[in-house]
Homo-oligomer: A and B are copies of this chain.
Amino acid sequence: MTEQLDFASRRELFLHALGFERVRGDQIGEIAGQAVAKTFPKGSTIFHQDEPCRYFYVVARGIVKVEFCSAGGTCVTYLLAEKGEPLNLVGPFTGLPRMMSATALEASVLLLVERDWFVRFAFRNPELVTGIIQILGRAVDSANNRLIDMMEKRVQERVIKILHVLNRKFGDRLAFTSSEIAELAGTTTESVLRCLGALRERGIIRSGRGELWIKEPVRLERFQDEAFWV
């Protein structure tokens, strides 16, 4: 199901895409010309773990979850990508399968660029390469920070931190289930629910089936500090 997304929209998207900030205008036009839009219904798989990389993907609309799963079945969410965020920065260069899979959390539109073409494009745009390396550096830092949080913070604090991060990125209404939040905080659904219950009692959030609202972002932040001092 290939949706028509006109050239101007694709160009606009790449102009503000993460990692493409400093790429020259004519080059943006070139990659926009090569990109093809494709829609994915809610819950569908965009690419799979252990599947060789064929395309470079950028989110044009919707939210895509990229997750990392072990043989044992445990999964951690690596990325929640929205408009302008690339899904796979490494795959195109190696062509090899990675340990990640991507699914659409809501009906989404992605831009696809043929892998070979993308790599050649990157090599003649140093600004893009710098952008990619920068993003990968952030990814490494983020993963290490989560590792440290797993060690020194308790479940409550981790959940609150996740809510805070989600709030900054997606606003006051968060359309995530408790198990999705658990996968981000590195804990179980039940523990998340208990934590949400406590926050709801204090009037900091409001929660419903598959969505929750942050009512008092400031108190959320403060609550995190409080927890830290207990």
Contact = CB atoms under 8 A, between A and B. Distances in A.
Interface of A: 68, 70, 72, 74, 76, 78, 89-90, 93-94, 98-99, 122-123, 126, 129-130, 132-134, 136-137, 139-141, 143-148, 150-152, 186
Contact of A76 (B70, B89, B136, B144): B144
Nearest to A131: B93
26 contacts: A68-B145, A68-B147, A72-B148, A74-B152, A76-B147, A76-B148, A78-B144, A89-B137, A90-B134, A90-B136, A90-B140, A93-B133, A93-B134, A94-B134, A123-B126, A123-B129, A129-B129, A133-B133, A133-B136, A136-B136, A136-B140, A140-B140, A143-B147, A146-B147, A150-B151, A150-B186
B98 A137 contact: yes
Going nearest first, the 8 A-B pairs with the smallest beta carbon separation are A143-B143, A90-B137, A136-B136, A68-B144, A74-B152, A70-B148, A123-B126, A150-B150
A66 to B, nearest CB: 11
A147 B90 contact: no
Nearest to A92: B133
Contacts of A137: 89-90, 94, 98, 136
A118 to B, nearest CB: 12
B143 A144 contact: yes
